[in-house]
Amino acid sequence: MYGRLLATLALAAGPAASDPVLSLPIDCELGETCYIQQFVDRDPGAGARDFTCGTLSYDGHKGTDFALPTLRAMQQGVDVRAAAPGIVQGTRNSMPDQLFTSETTAQVDGRECGNGVVLKHEDGWETQYCHMRQGSIRVKSGDVIDVGTVLGQVGLSGKTQFPHLHLSVRKDGQVVDPFDTTGQAQCGQGGDNLWADTPDYVPGALLDVGFAPLVPEYDAILAGDAAQDVLSDQSSGLVLYGLAYGGLKGDVMRIEIVGPDGPFGGQQVELERNRARFFRAYGKRLTAERWPAGTYTGRVSLVRDGQVISQKSTTTTVQ
């Protein structure tokens, strides 16, 4: 589904002979069960931009964030794998999986990575894997690791507010962007990268859609608990929501519902500012005795500059 989303990028060269060759460090299907939410910040000043000069980063971000759409996906277990062969330099495995808040600042101070693993590679290269699940680390210092070895699982530990793997790549202690190893970002127009199979750059997309009897709480959507496959014909409301990432000011989320008797309704909502993650919802309150029984189909589209860049559909049964 993501073919139409890809940014128009020039093909970048692969790793140099002495550089590590990186494989995907997470056991998921990019664009389907996981996605890249943020890249290394290539802006040397107070702003932020990714290697394409896009907005998928924040000021000072030093890695690539491979994210899961919901907490439920994390709880089901998603493996973190070594991106390249190396030797384990250190691990941490005891921090709880919890959203970072002002109340946990002191607890996380100096341990922002949360649970994680550091691997040493040849010629001064290192990779670091952060925010892993408490108790999931399977390796120990000194272990010799092959590419693809399971290190642990994606978690929510350290300084994070969504389940993801933060991968940092360093050469002689200095951060390197694995998507563009040049000192200055080339805005996606060439440059070397470290990937054996370069992940697609997706500038924003829908993560999840679902029906609910009322507008869900954001926490319930992020947890993966908001969608209901079956609704009562006497539910107080009938609502369709969409969760997305990478939203830009002016993007439109289009929400459409078709009921068993035909079109039910819809809405278009324009983003008033850039948003890393966001949701929008549309629905109606019950004003008759009951909703018509049958199948309701919902479609949510993310529209940018007049073009649909992402779309997801879902159904619920009213009975």
**Residue 18 has what pLDDT?**
74
**Residue 3 has what pLDDT?**
36
The three-point CA angle 92-66-162 to 5° equals 75
pLDDT over 80 at 220, yes or no: yes
Q: How many domains does the chain have?
A: 2
Element (H, E) at 74: helix 71-76
Quick: pLDDT tens for 191-212. 789 999 999 999 999 999 999 9
pLDDT over 50 at 168, yes or no: yes
- Is 230 within the bounds of a domain? yes
pLDDT over 50 at 10, yes or no: no
- Is 19 within the bounds of a domain? yes
- Is 211 within the bounds of a domain? yes
107 and 236: one domain? no
Q: What percent of the chain has pLDDT over 70?
A: 95
- Is 196 within the bounds of a domain? no
Element (H, E) at 87: strand 86-92
Mean pLDDT in residue range 284-304: 97
- Is 252 within the bounds of a domain? yes
- 214 pLDDT band, cuts 50/70/90, is very high
Quick: pLDDT tens for 250-279. 999 999 999 999 999 999 999 999 999 999
CB 164 within 8 A of CB 158: no
**Could you tell me the two tokens for 318?**
């009213």
Which candidate, 113, 110, 115, 159, places its Cα nearest to that of 133? Answer: 115
113 and 241: one domain? no
**Residue 309 has what pLDDT?**
96
Residue 228: give its domain's CATH number.
2.60.40.2550
Q: Three-class SS of residue 86?
A: strand
Whole-number average pLDDT of the chain: 93
34 and 163: one domain? yes
**Residue 191 has what pLDDT?**
75
**Residue 16 has what pLDDT?**
59
144 and 257: one domain? no
Q: Three-class SS of residue 249?
A: coil
Quick: pLDDT tens for 95-136. 999 999 988 899 999 999 999 999 999 999 999 999 999 999
pLDDT over 70 at 164, yes or no: yes
Domain holding 303, by residue range, is 205-318
pLDDT over 70 at 47, yes or no: yes
- Is 185 within the bounds of a domain? no
20 and 107: one domain? yes
Which candidate, 309, 83, 119, places its Cα nearest to that of 197? Answer: 83
